């Protein structure tokens, strides 16, 4: 039936009607707050490229996690900045490492808050790549799997509620699942960064985590931004290897990929609204280009509408406040 019998504006006339027929809901319960944790006491180090985001000593990370929980945010995602780095990134599996210590502290203070730990080596290696290097400088995929599994088991021992491998090595999910099961962590979920693209939008994160490669780039293991079908293959392989959730990263430039991955896998899908996406909105809002609140909520709603069940975002606390 066409106009004038059909008038779609009828359902837009009042706020109550618009709310009643809204197709996509955004709530704090769908958000995860990333935290950058470093050694020391009573330290908050501002990250210049990410206004409002700081590197946190563990005591401040506990406070920030508590503030997130009070707003109804159910989970934090931890990234560690170690005191020292080496060729293999051994700090990643140090039981007294910064992420392990932060996990214990946050779980002790906020036992109902979910702590998800990032599993990668780039923050811990002296060269900034995500795995063990061969003599020619390339990343040795298979030799790296053991190191990633050791890191995941160490984080599990510290009390992590889920581990999230972000390295993009082939076979890493299966390697983590096997070692976690063997060490008594068969019930610990794996949140796989399945479709992690080699993106320009990671720039501020690498500043925050001090993880810029000392040479070359990560295009040999992170995905080509042009490939959507390959992203679906990556996600399906991760599910086959034992991933409980899959992730698309970045989010806003890859809404089509989020939709395709959700349709293909039918498992919970997370999307990472990354540092560059955050910084763009912050910069545009500061310049008076648009209203920050409206832009953030529109962007996060778009990510949900595309099919993301979970959104990892630096906007989490602001968004949760605005959604109250």
Residue with tokens 């059909």: 6
Any idea how long the chain is? 324
Catalytic residue (choose from 85, 107, 249, 317): 249
Omega of the bond leading into 250 within 30 degrees of 0 (cis): yes
Does an H or E element contain 147, and which? helix 141-158
Active-site annotation holds for 85 = no
Active-site annotation holds for 196 = yes
Residue with tokens 């950058």: 36
Residue 54 has phi, psi (to 5 degrees) of: -125, 155
Distances, alpha carbon 57 to alpha carbons 64, 78, 161, 170, 185, in Å: 10, 12, 21, 33, 28
Catalytic residue (choose from 196, 262, 282, 317): 196
* DSSP 8-class letter at 313: E
Does an H or E element contain 232, and which? helix 229-241
Active site residues: 196, 249
């Amino acid at each position: 039936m066409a106009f004038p019998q059909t008038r779609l504006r009828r359902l837009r006339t009042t706020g109550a009607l618009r709310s009643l027929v809204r197709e996509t809901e955004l709530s704090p319960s769908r958000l995860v707050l990333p935290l950058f944790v470093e050694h020391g006491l009573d330290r908050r180090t501002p990250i210049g490229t990410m206004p409002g985001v700081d590197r946190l000593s563990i005591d401040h990370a506990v406070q920030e996690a508590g503030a997130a929980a009070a707003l109804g945010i159910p989970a934090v995602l931890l990234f560690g900045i170690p005191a020292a780095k080496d060729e293999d990134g051994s700090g990643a599996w140090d039981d007294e490492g910064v992420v392990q210590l932060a996990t214990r502290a946050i779980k002790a203070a906020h036992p109902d808050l979910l702590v998800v730990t990032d599993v990668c080596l780039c923050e811990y290696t002296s060269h900034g790549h995500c795995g063990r290097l061969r003599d020619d400088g390339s990343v040795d995929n298979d030799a790296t799997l053991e190191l990633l599994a050791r890191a995941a088991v160490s984080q599990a021992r510290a009390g992590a509620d889920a581990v999230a491998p972000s390295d993009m090595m082939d076979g890493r999910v299966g390697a983590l699942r096997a070692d976690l099961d063997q060490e008594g962590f068969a019930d610990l979920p794996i949140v796989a960064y399945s479709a992690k693209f080699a993106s320009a939008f990671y720039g501020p994160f690498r500043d925050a985590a001090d993880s810029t490669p000392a040479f070359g780039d990560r295009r040999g293991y992170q995905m080509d931004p042009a490939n959507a079908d390959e992203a679906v293959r990556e996600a399906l392989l991760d599910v086959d290897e034992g991933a409980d959730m899959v992730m698309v990263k970045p989010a806003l430039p890859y809404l089509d990929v989020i939709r395709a991955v959700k349709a293909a896998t039918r498992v919970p899908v997370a999307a990472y609204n990354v540092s560059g996406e955050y910084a763009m909105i912050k910069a545009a809002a500061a310049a008076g280009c648009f209203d920050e609140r409206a832009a953030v909520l529109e962007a996060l709603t778009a990510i949900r509408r595309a099919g993301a069940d979970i959104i990892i975002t630096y906007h989490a606390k602001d968004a949760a406040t605005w959604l109250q």
